């Protein structure tokens, strides 16, 4: 017997929507809010719910009418995801009331998802004449419990948006946590459909939204945001456009390296050491500092150190992504005509590094965080023990 997943949108407020997603006894409440009015319909819940249903091989039942173009697109999106991940993502039936939604682009704007990173600054500046709004989402790369970093990021992105002459739409959602609870992988399966959800709830404000590409066309791989996938999450109301596949990261940075808004507010760090806006020490920060150097703009970015920590880079454990980025920067030097023996030697040192050496660096990294992890576990155990003792004495 095939399991059934149900999605029940709840009555929301002007600026908040929510829905109950359930499979058997497993149930999650998804919530999304923003600083603008949101669409109160079932259509925005289609994309994220389809992927949960596929992951659990459960037919999907959505309570409420769903835009017919979105339903047809979800069928095509299922074909793409199943083709990429046949063992993990199985095609399922979707049951919902199909409706034709008459809408007009008149009075609505054009948006661009905007994290403050390389990809989003590139797309925002490239399409500046067309884009009317930028969109920041809290709950994706910054956890909902990290209000400190979220506040600093919002402040910086408001300033960047103002410098670019665009209002910033600020969204907050727990959908990443909901997807994780249902066992979806963020990079492989999840985040593209969650961006689609945000796009559709903003349908009252925007008729078209640019989704900045994570990879150039020459390095495209199956991924949750992809030019072969994102267009299928469009609806009658909102067109989704995957943008920026024509440029590598060095080329993107070169395109905006002399833009003051970008250089004052660029945010690329995933590690967030000590909750920094950019730590300046992780592989992603350093690779971006190299991008800036290749673009001939060393020292212009106020959110990253001017000097590259060469010794630290040489000791950094490289994931496959880090190795690919080193090659991309080396290629970027050639493409942009930048001659720098010191930078070239550092990049070749990573590319020529023996696999065993890289694994030893990985072990050292793990060993370095072990004491902190042990302290965290001890703190948690102590806290639990103290709560139990407190209850026992009541």
Measured CA angle at 174 (ends 170, 24), to 5 deg: 150
Tell which wins on pLDDT, 288 or 97: 288
pLDDT on residue 98: 83
Residues 223-246: what's their mean pLDDT? 97
How far, in Å, CA of 231 to CA of 211, rounded? 10
The percentage of the chain sitting over the pLDDT mark of 70, rounded to a whole number, equals 92
- For the stretch 238-283, pLDDT in tens is 999 999 999 999 999 999 999 999 999 999 997 776 788 999 999 9
Please name the residue that has the structure tokens 């300046």: 280
Tokens of 376: 């965290």
Residue 380: pLDDT over 70? no
Residue 361: pLDDT over 90? no
Question: Among 102-106, 237-241, 324-328, which is the least confidently predicted range?
Answer: 102-106
pLDDT band at 99 (very low <50, low <70, confident <90, very high): confident
How far, in Å, CA of 156 to CA of 114, rounded? 12
- The distance from CA 41 to its chain's CA centroid, rounded to whole angstroms, is 24
pLDDT on residue 270: 78
pLDDT on residue 341: 97
Closest CA to 197 of 14, 34, 35, 58: 34
Give the SS3 label for residue 4.
strand
φ, ψ for residue 340, nearest 5 deg: -155, 95
Give the SS3 label for residue 300.
coil
How far, in Å, CA of 125 to CA of 266, rounded? 13
Residue 97: pLDDT over 80? yes
Question: Are 166 and 132 within 8 A, CB to CB?
Answer: yes
Closest CA to 318 of 275, 278, 277, 348: 348
- For the stretch 121-173, pLDDT in tens is 999 999 999 999 999 999 999 999 999 999 999 999 999 999 999 999 999 99
Please name the residue that has the structure tokens 């495209």: 220
Parallel, antiparallel or unpaired: strands 3-13 and 16-23: antiparallel
Residues 178-185: what's their mean pLDDT? 96
Question: Are 156 and 267 within 8 A, CB to CB?
Answer: yes
Question: Are 18 and 10 within 8 A, CB to CB?
Answer: yes
How far, in Å, CA of 140 to CA of 175, rounded? 8
pLDDT on residue 365: 67
Residues 6 or more apart from 352 whose CB is under 8 A from it? none
Q: What is the pTM of this model?
A: 0.89
pLDDT band at 66 (very low <50, low <70, confident <90, very high): very high
pLDDT on residue 388: 57
Question: Are 190 and 62 within 8 A, CB to CB?
Answer: no
pLDDT band at 100 (very low <50, low <70, confident <90, very high): confident
Residues 362-383: what's their mean pLDDT? 59
Residue 377: pLDDT over 60? no
CA-based R_g, the chain, Å:
23
- The distance from CA 177 to its chain's CA centroid, rounded to whole angstroms, is 13
Residues 345-369: what's their mean pLDDT? 84
Domain boundaries defined on the chain: 3-243, 249-357
How far, in Å, CA of 365 to CA of 361, rounded? 6
How far, in Å, CA of 50 to CA of 55, rounded? 9
pLDDT on residue 102: 74
Facing residues of 99 across strands?
67
The percentage of the chain sitting over the pLDDT mark of 90, rounded to a whole number, equals 82
pLDDT band at 1 (very low <50, low <70, confident <90, very high): very low
pLDDT on residue 384: 53
User: How would you classify residue 27: left for phi > 0, otherwise alpha for psi between -120 and 50, otherwise beta?
Assistant: beta
């Amino acid at each position: 017997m095939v399991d059934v997943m149900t999605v029940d949108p709840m009555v929301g407020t002007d600026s908040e929507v929510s829905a109950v997603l359930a499979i058997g006894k497993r149930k999650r409440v998804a919530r999304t809010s923003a600083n603008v009015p949101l669409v109160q319909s079932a259509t925005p819940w289609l994309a994220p719910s389809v992927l949960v249903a596929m992951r659990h091989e459960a037919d999907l039942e959505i309570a409420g009418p769903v835009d017919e173009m979105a339903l047809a697109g979800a069928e095509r999106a299922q074909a793409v995801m199943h083709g990429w991940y046949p063992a993990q993502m199985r095609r399922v039936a979707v049951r919902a009331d199909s409706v034709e939604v008459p809408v007009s682009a008149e009075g609505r704007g054009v948006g661009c998802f905007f994290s403050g990173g390389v990809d989003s600054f590139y797309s925002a500046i490239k399409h500046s004449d067309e884009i009317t709004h930028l969109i920041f989402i809290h709950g994706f790369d910054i956890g909902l419990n990290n209000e400190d970093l979220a506040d600093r990021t919002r402040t910086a992105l408001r300033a960047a948006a103002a410098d670019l002459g665009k209002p910033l739409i600020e969204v907050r959602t727990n959908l990443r946590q909901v997807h994780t609870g249902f066992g979806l992988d963020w990079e492989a399966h999840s985040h593209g459909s969650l961006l689609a959800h945000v796009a559709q709830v903003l349908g009252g404000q925007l008729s078209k939204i640019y989704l900045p590409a994570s990879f150039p066309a020459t390095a495209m791989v199956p991924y949750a945001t992809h030019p072969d996938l994102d267009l299928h999450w469009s609806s009658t109301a909102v067109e989704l456009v995957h943008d920026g596949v024509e440029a590598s990261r060095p080329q993107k940075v070169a395109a905006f390296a002399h833009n003051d808004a970008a250089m004052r507010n660029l945010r690329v760090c995933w590690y967030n050491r000590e909750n920094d806006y950019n730590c300046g020490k992780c592989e992603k920060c350093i690779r971006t500092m190299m991008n800036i150097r290749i673009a001939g703009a060393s020292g212009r970015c106020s959110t990253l150190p001017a000097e590259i920590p060469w010794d630290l880079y040489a000791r950094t454990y490289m994931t496959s992504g880090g190795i690919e980025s080193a090659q991309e920067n080396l290629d970027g030097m050639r493409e942009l005509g930048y001659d720098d023996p010191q930078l070239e030697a550092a990049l070749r040192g990573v590319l020529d590094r023996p696999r065993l050496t890289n694994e030893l660096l990985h072990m050292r990294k793990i060993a370095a965080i072990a004491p902190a992890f042990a302290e965290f576990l001890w703190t948690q155990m102590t806290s639990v023990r103290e709560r139990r003792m407190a209850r026992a004495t009541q």
